[in-house]
Copies of this chain bind each other. A is one copy, B any other.
Amino acid sequence: MPNERARGIITPRTLRGFNDLLPDEALLRGVLLRRIEDTFGSFGFQPISTPALEYVEILKGKGGEEPDAGLFEFRDQGGRQVALRYDLTVPLARYVAEHEGVLSFPFKAASIGLVWRGDRPQRGRYRELIQCDADVIGAVGPVVDAEILQLVHTTLDRLGVGEILIRVNDRRLLDAFFSRLGVLDRRLETLRSIDKLEKIGSGGVEAELQAGGLEDKQVAAILEFLSIGELPTTQARFEAVQEIVRGHGSGDEALEGLREVFDLLDAAEVPPSRLSFDPSIARGLAYYTGMVYETALRDAPEIGSVSSGGRYDDLAGLYTTTRLPGVGGSIGISRLVGALGVGGIGGALREIPPFVLVAHPRSERLTALAVRTATAVRRELGARVELYPMPRPHKKQMRYAALRHAAVVLTVDEDHTVRIKDMASGDAVSAPPGEVVDLVRGYLLNQAGE
């Protein structure tokens, strides 16, 4: 319906890195988010919610350092320095400190929400994404470490993303190794280089470590340590690492903990093929102090880790003198939606009620009957029922029904009967209004059984 308005228009566009979701994409994301919420809930995690905007001093912490992610930061109408949150961990830390008195610890928090990242526009990354975090705060030990890993496994399993590999390590093993090697003073830089193993390969890590001033012998030892993850069995890896870290730092304690984690995950029926002890997993973030993990899709390793996290000693030290250790994991729903793509839509559609289209009646006198029919089918059968909103040729309405994957189309006829067309078989019957609900129920059950 173009009209002749002469005035110019504003080009409709979104900011780079910010995406609209078309209806099918939004539907898929919605179904996946519910599965995540439900799975988090099924492990006893409680939902919390924090604002999108926070004081900059809260998000940056004392140092006033810009986080790696880049902040959308500005001065609000009241002159306050504010910014959009770039993750859910800092707001969680602020939250537990602020509400310490009314929360009961250990506190199991499920935090799902948008985060915004202003950096690296050149890499085509999302600047607005949804994070799904689960954290156990105020508790440490193999039982909670194992629970986070079990939760991640169960969640990804329910999302139907195919085979996954969760690679687990403990920061204390790397520390024990660094201590033995005499590079503990370069701990964080070394961890960050190791963290890039997947991206830049062992040659890249070698070059970075050498550039960082490590001796050739140290670099060689590190590369050898990293290659332990290639040994065929978990048992062999544990033994190789034990050999190296024994007697250094908390290495023995960490190894014993990891062994218990693997035993508990076995009790939780996590398939051993989806779990691997990998001493090369480091994670870039400074606050991890124990177990750390990453998760790859076997069929799409190139999209990177779809879930990662670990254990920390002191979540909220910037905001409270209470020491709150804990462990958490995060699931990257935006990456998963991208990875599942159109293939994921079918599975999502199966999870929502069937769609029934009531055609727009041919005469106005029949509209009330059409509304009554739509209302009854919607209420009695819990179906999604749409009364086509305006008069259009029947053929056009049938095309729309196909587009929306309608299970059944209902048409009110001049003689006040209702034609019921089963879109799966193509069968059609006419019936008085009072019999429509039962007939539609039959078709829907039939289609669900197929």
Contact = CB atoms under 8 A, between A and B. Distances in A.
A12 B46 contact: no
B20 A50 contact: yes
Given A14-B51, A44-B384, A53-B18, A143 B268 contact: no
Interface string A39-51: 0011110111111
Chain B CB within 10 A, most for which of A46, A371, A383 = A371
Interface in A21-53: 21-23, 25-27, 29-30, 34, 37, 41-44, 46-53
A136 B360 CA distance: 15
Interface stretch (A74-82, A185-193, A202-210): A74-82
Contacts of A432: none
Contact of A26 (B47, B102, B355, B400): B47
A371 B263 CA distance: 10
Interface in A334-393: 352-353, 355, 357, 360, 364, 367-369, 371-372, 375, 378, 382-390
A2 B321 contact: yes
A53 B15 contact: yes
B44 A26 contact: no
A104 interface: yes
A95 interface: yes
A410 to B, nearest CB: 13
Given A9-B319, A82-B15, A29 B49 contact: yes
A318 B48 contact: no
A317 B108 CA distance: 48
Contact of A104 (B50, B367, B378, B400): B400
B106 A22 contact: no
Contact of A43 (B46, B121, B378): B378
A403 to B, nearest CB: 6
Nearest to A317: B5
A62 B384 contact: no
B389 A108 contact: yes
B268 A372 contact: yes
B14 A54 contact: yes
Contact of A47 (B27, B114, B143): B27
A264 interface: yes
Q: Which of A106, A109, A266, A369 has the most CB of B within 10 A?
A: A106
Nearest to A57: B10
A227 interface: no
Given A12-B98, A49-B29, A51-B128, A144 B389 contact: yes
B20 A368 contact: no
A143 B367 contact: yes
B389 A106 contact: yes
Nearest to A389: B139
A211 interface: no
A404 B78 CA distance: 40
Contact of A48 (B13, B26, B95, B382): B26
A74 B80 CA distance: 13
B49 A26 contact: yes
A99 B22 contact: yes
A41 B373 CA distance: 17
A301 interface: no
Nearest to A269: B375
A421 B63 CA distance: 51
Contacts of A57: 10
Interface of A: 1-3, 5, 7, 9-16, 18-23, 25-27, 29-30, 34, 37, 41-44, 46-55, 57-58, 61-62, 70, 72, 74-78, 80, 82, 84, 94-95, 97-99, 102-104, 106, 108-109, 114, 116, 118-119, 121, 128, 136, 139-141, 143-144, 146-147, 150, 260, 263-264, 266-269, 316-324, 352-353, 355, 357, 360, 364, 367-369, 371-372, 375, 378, 382-390, 400, 403-404
Given A12-B58, A44-B385, A52-B114, 16 more contacts: A10-B57, A11-B319, A12-B94, A19-B51, A22-B48, A25-B49, A29-B49, A44-B357, A53-B72, A72-B77, A74-B74, A143-B360, A143-B367, A144-B390, A260-B367, A267-B368
